[in-house]
Amino acid sequence: MTLTSQRKRVCVLGSTGSIGVSTLDVLERHRGRYELVAISGHRQTDRLREQCVRFRPRIAVTADPESASLLQTELRRAGCATEVRHGPQALVDIASDAAVDYVMAAIVGAAGLEPTLAAAAAGKRVLLANKEALVMAGDVFMAAVRRSGALLLPIDSEHNAVFQSLPSCYAGNLGQSGVRRILLTASGGPFRNMDPASLASVTPEQACAHPNWVMGRKISVDSATMMNKGLEAIEAHWLFNAPPSSIEVIVHPQSVIHSLVDYIDGSVLAQLGNPDMRTPIAHALGWPDRIDSGVRSLDLFEIARLDFERPDLERFPCLGLAYRALEAGGSAPAVLNAANEEAVSAFLDHRLRFTRIADVIASTLDGVPRAAITCLEDVMAADGAARRCARQAIGRWGKEIA
């Protein structure tokens, strides 16, 4: 790639997922302001082809040689000059390329860690939608941000809301900024009011039917178990240098208040909006300016009421397990994340009951010794050990599935 455009040049890692698609929607509204130069989409070659023809990025990355060859052939037939690359190193290359200004990090799971870290190390504006980069490697990731001077802007609606509600000069110290607590809101997912005795029989289709948000299958299951909120608590710890005791979760079924910041003078500042990820995406793309996202204005008369509940840790044990890992520190959050990914994958494949997801995670946290995390290799070692342990647990409990 070459430095030829005055527009901000954007790389979207995970362009075929829900966050990626929403990002492209916002970018298309501001073609005079942004240039899409690189995208990635694992093996979704049909959607990648459509995006390449529509936006004409310089580079597209797929998972393997077969999908890359197929996509390159189809693009040539369509008269599209996009170069197709493949594999993990190609993701790292586009995320750290000198011709990229902004990187949307939207690859789900541990697969997004290395390219997101590469973007941070290269000093990019990192629009962070990949929770795992901070959950697995928070200390390593934040050290890379500090060394390079990268600008880290959160895309999760909750963290973006906290970012907007903190003082504009916030420098990483809650006490010095007069902040008492960070309150992360949670919808409660599709099973908030279901009889706990019925949870063992829920299906992947039921777990993925989120009442407010349109999301991918993995994050939808995380919402149903409230593990997503546990991962967000860990993420908030690193993003805002917040101790675990200052991060609380509050169930808010309407998903209109995206999070709140409680100040010592009694003020509580919150960010509100319709549940549409284009709002935080547009905020991070335009910051410190405001740009149109395409999201309709919030109608408070239509909403009419806002409800709040304490999370039920018996119904949602994954939330408690996440706080356990956060308190333990070291490799524990990486172990938690890996075990959760393995358990959710098994549940979505009908190999594990919904209620056993938490059991697999707890067993893995007990079975993998906590270690210090000083580099990416330490993270990946913890991740590998946790996956092996989790798969053994899944093998035991998977026998319950007839």
Q: What is the pLDDT of residues 109-143, one digit of tens each?
A: 888 999 999 999 999 999 999 888 999 999 999 99
Q: How confident is the model at residue 214, as a pLDDT?
A: 65
Beta-bridged to residue 125, according to DSSP, are: 102, 151
Residue 392's domain is classified under what CATH number? 1.10.1740.10
Out of 154, 171, 188, a domain closes at 154
In a domain, 303, yes or no: no
Q: What is the pLDDT of residues 141-196, one digit of tens each?
A: 999 999 999 999 999 999 999 999 999 999 999 999 999 999 999 999 889 988 88
DSSP 122-181: TT-EEEE--THHHHHHHHHHHHHHHHHTPEEEE-SHHHHHHHHHS-TT--S-TTTTTEEE
In a domain, 16, yes or no: yes
Out of 104, 138, 154, a domain closes at 154
Of 163, 148, 2, residue with least CA distance to 83: 2
In a domain, 372, yes or no: yes
Per the structure, how many domains does the chain have?
Answer: 2
- pLDDT of residue 1 exceeding 70, the answer is no
- pLDDT of residue 377 exceeding 70, the answer is yes
295, 276 Cβ separation under 8 angstroms: yes
Whole-prediction pTM value?
0.92
In a domain, 225, yes or no: no
Phi first, then psi: give them for residue 32, nearest 5 degrees.
-75, -15
Of 10, 219, 210, residue with least CA distance to 131: 219
Q: How confident is the model at residue 195, as a pLDDT?
A: 86
User: Is residue 115 reached through a cis peptide bond, with omega within 30 degrees of 0 on the bond before it?
Assistant: no
In a domain, 209, yes or no: no
Question: How open is the CA angle 121-127-128, to the nearest 5 degrees?
Answer: 80
8, 101 Cβ separation under 8 angstroms: yes
In a domain, 208, yes or no: no
In a domain, 106, yes or no: yes
Interatomic CA distance for residues 13 and 129, integer angstroms: 10
CB atoms within 10 A of CB 92: 19
Residue 18's domain is classified under what CATH number? 3.40.50.720
Tokens of 93: 């290359």
**Structural domain range at position 365:** 329-402
Q: How confident is the model at residue 284, as a pLDDT?
A: 98
In a domain, 402, yes or no: yes
Out of 135, 154, 173, a domain closes at 154
Interatomic CA distance for residues 40 and 15, integer angstroms: 6
Query: Which of 61-65, 122-126, 217-221 bottoms out in mean pLDDT, i.e. has the lowest?
Result: 217-221
**Span 312-333, average pLDDT:** 96
103, 125 Cβ separation under 8 angstroms: yes
Q: How confident is the model at residue 42, as a pLDDT?
A: 87
